[in-house]
């Protein structure tokens, strides 16, 4: 590629040049997308529920048939390293990590933080500032069993009364354009039934620096549902390399694109459609603990496409995936604890 970023030329003819991947060390052994500033943004691989109507506020957010045009099937860095959970991990996690569904369609990952409380990405429930989310009265959390359908619960709340008291979120209108508010893309939701019979995943007290240090030792991994592989089983992406800057987007660029990049983990675990809301995990002294929530993929698009790189008049310039993103656990740990405690008190007090 030339210094200006255009295609290389041989004999006067333009030859397409394969985009260079971020120079992150990722062993050969995961993410919705965001685009940044003018050339970049964050995109979510979340909603793939064709034909499902979405309820949301009138105004800028338009109703979804839950198929987003700005979504790719997967964000894979190098080899696709997504695998089925090993037997030991499956036993430890299959009753604590599940999926959000509308009808028979699974569209996001979520995980238990208490018997009747789950955590996920805010955009899975509320959509974004530009796209309305699903009808919350039709959303269920499914967990356990070979097809993630052993136990099922609707969200606590009702269409008429609303879900304001049963869902706590970092935002209900996620900003996906710079400054991207990815650090607010978390939600804690109460369930109508305590289907998390094995309890919740503990939320880690590790700092960002400590998490990144463990990533250098290949100790961070991501678990979620990936529709492009299977919508009915959990996959693991590991290990998750992390960085704060990349060849295509250094720390200064990222600081301009994101509202609070210090509250985000930029990682290269391979992810796919439906992995939003899945936990980033570390095996602590007592077992797996949550260090973040996987939410989106940071993508940069070239400002313009050269004629030689476009095959159709209406084709869009190719985008380059920089990294996947996760909300740091410290952003939602206290809210999850407070919310779960309130739910326990409600159960103890009874009707």
CATH of the domain at 148: 2.40.10.10
19 in a structural domain: no
pLDDT computed for residue 288 by the predictor: 97
**Which residue's structure tokens are 């990533």?**
215
Number of domains the chain is built from: 1
What lies within 8 Å, CB to CB, of 13 at 6+ separation is: none
Query: Against a cut of 0.85, is the pTM above it?
Result: no
Name the strand (E) or helix (H) holding 220: strand 220-226
Q: How confident is the model at residue 320 (pLDDT cuts 50, 70, 90)?
A: confident
> Are 163 and 305 in contact, with CB atoms under 8 Å apart?
no
Mean pLDDT value across residues 86-90: 92
The residue with greater pLDDT, 131 or 17, is: 131
Q: How confident is the model at residue 43 (pLDDT cuts 50, 70, 90)?
A: low
Cα gap 106→34, rounded to integer Å: 21
Give the other-Cβ count within 10 Å of 288's Cβ.
20
Q: How confident is the model at residue 100 (pLDDT cuts 50, 70, 90)?
A: very high
The residue with greater pLDDT, 215 or 350, is: 215
**C-alpha angle 349-169-132 in degrees, rounded to nearest 5:** 125
Secondary structure (3-state) at 194:
coil
> Are 70 and 117 in contact, with CB atoms under 8 Å apart?
no
226 in a structural domain: yes
The residue with greater pLDDT, 26 or 333, is: 333
170 in a structural domain: yes
10 in a structural domain: no
> Are 52 and 72 in contact, with CB atoms under 8 Å apart?
no
Name the strand (E) or helix (H) holding 139: strand 139-143
pLDDT computed for residue 75 by the predictor: 84
Range of the domain at 329: 26-50+59-305+313-349
11 in a structural domain: no
Cα gap 179→275, rounded to integer Å: 23
3 in a structural domain: no
Rg of the Cα atoms in the chain: 20
Question: Buried (b) or exposed (e) across 305-324, using 16+ Cβ within 10 A?
Answer: eeeebeeeeeeeeebbbbbb
Mean pLDDT value across residues 284-295: 96
**Which residue's structure tokens are 């509202």?**
259
Cα gap 252→254, rounded to integer Å: 5
Output the DSSP codes for 7-42.
-EEETTEEE--PPPPP-----------EE-TTTEEE
């Amino acid at each position: 590629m030339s210094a200006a970023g255009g295609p290389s030329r041989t004999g006067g003819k333009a030859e397409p040049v394969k985009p260079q991947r971020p120079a992150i060390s990722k062993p050969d052994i995961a993410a919705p997308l965001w685009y940044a500033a003018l050339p970049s943004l964050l995109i979510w691989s979340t909603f793939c529920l064709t034909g499902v109507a979405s309820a949301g506020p009138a105004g800028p957010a338009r109703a979804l048939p839950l198929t987003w045009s700005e979504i790719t099937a997967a964000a894979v860095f190098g080899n696709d390293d997504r695998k089925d959970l090993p037997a030991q991990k499956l036993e430890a996690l299959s009753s604590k990590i599940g999926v959000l569904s509308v009808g028979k369609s699974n569209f996001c990952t979520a995980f238990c933080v208490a018997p009747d409380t789950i955590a996920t990405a805010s955009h899975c429930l509320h959509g974004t500032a530009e796209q309305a989310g699903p009808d919350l009265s039709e959303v269920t959390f499914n967990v356990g069993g070979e097809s993630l359908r052993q136990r099922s619960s609707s969200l606590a709340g009702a269409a008429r009364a609303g879900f304001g008291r049963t869902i706590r979120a970092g935002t209900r209108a996620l900003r996906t354009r710079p400054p991207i508010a990815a650090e607010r893309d978390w939600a804690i939701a109460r369930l109508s039934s305590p289907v998390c019979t094995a309890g919740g995943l503990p939320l880690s007290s590790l700092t960002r620096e400590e998490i990144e240090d463990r990533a250098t030792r290949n100790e961070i991994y991501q678990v979620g549902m990936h529709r492009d592989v299977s919508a009915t089983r959990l996959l693991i992406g590991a290990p998750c390399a992390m960085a704060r800057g990349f060849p295509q987007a250094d720390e200064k660029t990222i600081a301009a694109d994101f509202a609070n990049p210090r509250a985000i983990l930029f990682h290269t675990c391979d992810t796919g459609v439906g992995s939003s809301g899945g936990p980033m995990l570390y095996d602590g002294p007592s077992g797996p603990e949550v260090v973040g929530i996987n939410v989106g993929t940071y993508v940069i698009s070239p400002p313009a496409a050269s004629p030689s790189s476009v095959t159709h008049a209406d084709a869009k310039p190719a985008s380059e995936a920089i990294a996947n993103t996760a909300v740091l656990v410290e952003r939602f740990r206290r809210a999850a604890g407070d919310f779960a405690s309130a739910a326990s008190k409600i159960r103890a007090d009874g009707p």
